[in-house]
């Protein structure tokens, strides 16, 4: 297996509501989508929104579940002060503030918001892993 992630799919309760939320944040839908699924290009990977019940059915698992899901998505920024600005933008678009921007114990800055379905997004500035020209995280060797 090649070490990469190609697509992240979020199971959502209301596809139209989630689509509106992400598009308020500047995500642009791909023409590949339909009224049943929406795709967004995110640099080298893609994000899709798919009805939670349909996603669970496809994976042959229960759609029940709540609380912490054991995963977060992260949006890294180029400057420390961008963390608070991005979180504020998300809240204006309909997100729930989970943790305001604050200095992180590892030396950066981070905070969290939840999308309309409760998916956690961390917004972070990491001085040890700057972003490349296309927004890719540049991990040290």
| Tens of each residue's pLDDT in the chain, 141 residues | 667 788 999 999 999 999 999 999 999 999 998 899 999 999 888 999 999 999 888 778 788 876 777 789 999 999 999 999 999 999 999 999 999 999 998 899 999 999 999 899 999 999 998 888 888 888 776
Classified as helix, coil or strand, 137 is strand
**Helix 82-93 with 15-24: angle, nearest 10 deg:** 140
Domains and CATH numbers, the chain: 1-60 (3.10.180.10), 70-141 (3.10.180.10)
Q: Which two tokens stand for residue 55?
A: 């996603």
Check residue 63 and give its pLDDT: 84
Q: What is the pTM of this model?
A: 0.84
Beta bridge partners of 73: 121
d(CA 134, CA 101): 24
């Amino acid at each position: 297996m090649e070490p990469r992630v190609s697509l992240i799919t979020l199971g959502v309760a209301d596809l139209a509501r989630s689509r509106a939320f992400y598009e308020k944040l500047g995500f642009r839908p791909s023409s590949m989508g339909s009224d049943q699924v929406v795709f967004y290009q995110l640099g080298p990977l893609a994000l899709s929104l798919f009805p939670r019940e349909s996603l669970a059915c496809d994976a042959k698992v229960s759609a029940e579940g709540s609380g912490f899901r054991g995963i977060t998505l992260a949006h890294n920024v180029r400057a420390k002060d961008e963390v608070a600005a991005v979180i504020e933008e998300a809240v204006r678009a309909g997100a729930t503030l989970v943790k305001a921007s604050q200095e992180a114990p590892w030396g950066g800055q981070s905070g969290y918001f939840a999308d309309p379905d409760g998916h956690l997004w961390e917004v972070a500035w990491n001085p040890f892993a700057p972003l490349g020209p296309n927004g890719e995280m540049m991990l040290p060797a």
